Amino acid sequence: MVVPGLGATLGIFGSGIWIIPLLLGTISYYRYDRVDPESKPIDQQNLLPEYDFIVIGGGSAGAVVANRLTENPKVNVLLLEAGPDENEVTDVPSLAAYLQLSNLDWSYKTEPSNTACLGMVNNRCNWPRGKVLGGSSVLNYMIYVRGNKNDFDHWGQLGNPGWDYKSVLPYFLKSEDNRNPYLARSPYHARGGYLTVQEAPWHTPLVAAFVEAGTEIGYENRDINGEKQTGYMIAQGTIRRGSRCSTAKAFLRPIRLRPNFHLALNAFVTKIEIDPKTKRAWGVEFVRHNRKQVIRARREVILSAGAINSPQILMLSGVGPRDHLEAMGIPVIKNLPVGNNLMDHLGFGGLTFVLDKPVSILQNRLQAAAATTEYVLNERGKGGLEGIAFVKTPYANQSLDWPDIQFHMAPASINSDSGAQVWKILGLKPELYKEMYGPIQDTYTWTIMPLLLRPRSRGWVRLQSKNPFVAPIMNPNYYDDPLDMLTMIEGAKIALQTANAKVFKQFGSRLYQKPLPNCKHLKFLSDEYLECGIRTISMTIYHQSGTTKMGPEWDDTAVVDPRLKVYGIHGLRVIDASIMPQVVSGNTNAAVIMIGEKGADLIKEDWR
C-alpha cells in the first residue's frame, strides 16, 4: 500500500532534484556509516560447489532462516537474493514510496479487472514486491501487527498442529526487541531479539485524535498485539533509532562474519534441480553476473521467495498443476495446486479529509534542510502510517474478538505530494487524478484506509512463460465473493464515523466531498457510491499470501505439510507468506518473520 505524501516528508523532491545528492550524502555520513555499528553483509563472489542448506530469497522469512540455521557452526548455508543490498534511501522511513517502481522493486501488475482497480491504468493494480536484501520489509511501511490469535487457532483447526496461537506466540517473542517502555512488562512482548519494534519517534497530532475518536465511538485504546485486538492504537513499527529496521538489518548484518554463512546478491534463481526419479531436490540453478550456475544442496533447499516468486519457481521446476505445466511445455515432476489460494488485503484509498490547520504532511510546506537535520542528527525520522485500528462490521462474529476490518490512518492523502509521484506509484489514471485531486493539490489532508482482513475471494498465480525472466500472471480475483464487498462498505461507514468524531473538529477536519468521476451518477456516500469508490481506488496493502498453502495430507488444496515440506518432493520446503492457509488479520510482515523463526526450528528438529 502506498501512503501518499511519504516521499514528500523530507521535502527533497518538491524542492528541486539538485538537492538529492546533498541530502543523501548527509544521511550516509551521519547515519549509515557513523551511527549504525553493523557493517553491510558480505556479497560472496567465490561460492562453494555444495552447501548443507540453500535458502532462496533474502526477504522477511529467508533472512531469519539463514540467521537461525547458521547458529549451528557444523552446517553451512548459502542465501541467494535476486536483488542488491539496501542503500541510504531505504533507511529513511519517509522515502518508502519512492522505492517503488525502482530497481529494488519487482514492479508487478495484476491482470486487468472489472471488479477492482477501476481507477488504475488498464484496470491493473501495481503490486510492489521487494527485489532487495530484506525483501518487502525494505519497501513496506514498517507496521508491526501480528494478526489475531483466532487466525492461528484456525490454522491449527485446519489440520496444522503446532500452528495454533499458543504455539506460535513464543516465535513472535523470540524475534522481538520492543523498546516501548509501557509494554516492557507485557507477557505479549519481549526485549533482546534481533528485530527492533517501537512507535515512530515523530508523529502528527492527528493520530492522538484518531485514537480518541475510537473511544468516542465505543472502541478501546489498546495494544493490538496484546490480549485483545479490537480497538485503536498509535502504530508500532520495525523502526530503530528513527530508521527502518528491515530483516536484512535485523537478522543478516549481525551474522555477516559467520564463516558458515555465504550470501550471493543479484543471484536470480531460475530453477530448483529435482531428480525426477527419486523426487529429491538436490540443487539450485541461478544466473549471476550473466553466468548460469548450479550449486548442490546436501540436505535441503528452502524456498523463501514470497507469495509470487515461490510458486513461479516451483512451477518452473516441474512442481505445480499438471495441466498448466504441460501447456507450458514443462515436464511434470509433481502435480500440486501451486499458485492457487492467492489472497491479499485490499484497501479503499478514497476517503480524504481536508483540514483548516497545518497538522498533516504536505510536501510544498516542508523545509528540506530542517527535516533532514531532524532525521540524521536527532533520530526523528517521520513515518507515514500513524494509527491502526481493528473494528467489527455487522458481518463479523460479535461473540469473538476477531474483527473483520482494519484501518490505516495516515496524515496525508493522494494529493499530498502535489502530483509528484504518488499517483504514478498507485498507477492511477492521469485524468482521474487531475479531476479528483488537482483541486486540492496544495491542501492539508489526511485519510483513513479501511481494508478487508479475511477475504473470501481467492485468486491465482500462473506462469506467463517458461522463461524465468518473464513475470508470472497474477489474478487476485478481488471481490469475487459478494460478502467481501458488503463487508468493505460497512468498514467504510465506520471509518467515516471515526472521522466525524468531535475530537477532529479542532483541526477543521471534514470529508472532501468531490465525487469520483466514474461514480458521480450515484448518490454521494450511498452504499452504491461507496461500492463504486471501493472498486475504483483499490490499494494493495502488500499482503499477498497463500499460494503454496500449508495443510494436512488429506487436504487436496495443500502444497506443503505442517512442517512446511513440499508434498512428494524430498529435501524441499517453503518458508514464507505463501504457506498461509488463510491470510492473517493484520499486516503480514511480523507473521512472516514468525514463520521464518518456526520454520528454522522445524528444520533443526528434523536434522537434530
DSSP 277-317: TTTEEEEEEEEETTEEEEEEEEEEEEE-SHHHHHHHHHHHT
> Distance (Å, rounded) from C-alpha 239 to C-alpha 385?
13
C-alpha 350/C-alpha 119 separation (Å) is: 10
Contacts of 159 (CB under 8 A, 6+ apart): 551, 552, 554, 555, 562
Q: Is 566 annotated as a binding residue?
A: no
Task: Kindly list the distances between the CA atom of residue 346 and the CA atoms of 156, 212, 279, 383, 455, in Å, as whole numbers in the listed order.
Answer: 25, 26, 38, 21, 9
CA 374 to CA 56: how far, in whole Å? 38
Cα 229 to Cα 6, 148, 222, distances in angstroms: 27, 7, 8
The answer to whether the Cα torsion of 258, 262, 265, 271 is positive or negative is: negative
543 is catalytic: yes
For residue 152, what is its C-alpha cell?
A: 492461528
Residue 284 to residue 152: CA distance in whole angstroms: 32
Binding residue per annotation — 376?
A: no
Grid cell, residue 262, equals 555465504
Residue 192 is inside which H or E element, if any?
Answer: none
User: Nine-digit cell at 64?
Assistant: 531469519
What's the full length of the chain, in residues? 608
Burial group, residue 470, by CB count within 10 angstroms (0-12, 13-18, 19+): exposed
What span, in angstroms and rounded, lies between the C-alpha atoms of 344 and 154?
18
The catalytic position among 154, 345, 408, 543 is: 543
**Rounded to an integer, what distance in angstroms lies between the CA atom of residue 141 and that of residue 3?**
8
- The three cell numbers of residue 607 are 536434522
Show the 3-state SS of 480-547. CCHHHHHHHHHHHHHHHHHHCCHHHHHHCCEECCCCCCCCCCCCCCCHHHHHHHHHHCEEECCCCECC
CA dist 497 and 501 (Å) reads 7
Q: Tell me the C-alpha distance between 144 and 176, whole Å.
A: 10
d(CA 564, CA 64): 15
Between CA 592 and CA 206 the distance in angstroms is 30
Residue 11: which residues within 8 A CB-CB, separation 6 or more? Answer: 363, 366, 367, 368, 371
Q: What are phi and psi of 41, to 5 degrees?
A: -60, 155
Element counts in the chain: helices (H) and strands (E): 14, 26
- Residue pair 143/589 in contact by the 8 Å Cβ criterion: yes
Please compute Rg for the chain using Cα positions. 23
Please tell me whether residue 436 adopts helix, strand or coil conformation.
helix
Q: Is the dihedral of CA 350, 130, 382, 28 positive or negative?
A: negative
Amino acid at 82: A
Helix (H, G, I), strand (E, B) or coil at 556: coil
How many CB atoms within 10 Å of residue 364?
A: 14
From the centroid of its chain, how far is CA 501? 30
- List residues forming the annotated binding site for FAD: 132, 269
Residue numbers annotated as active site: 543
Annotated binding site: 132, 269
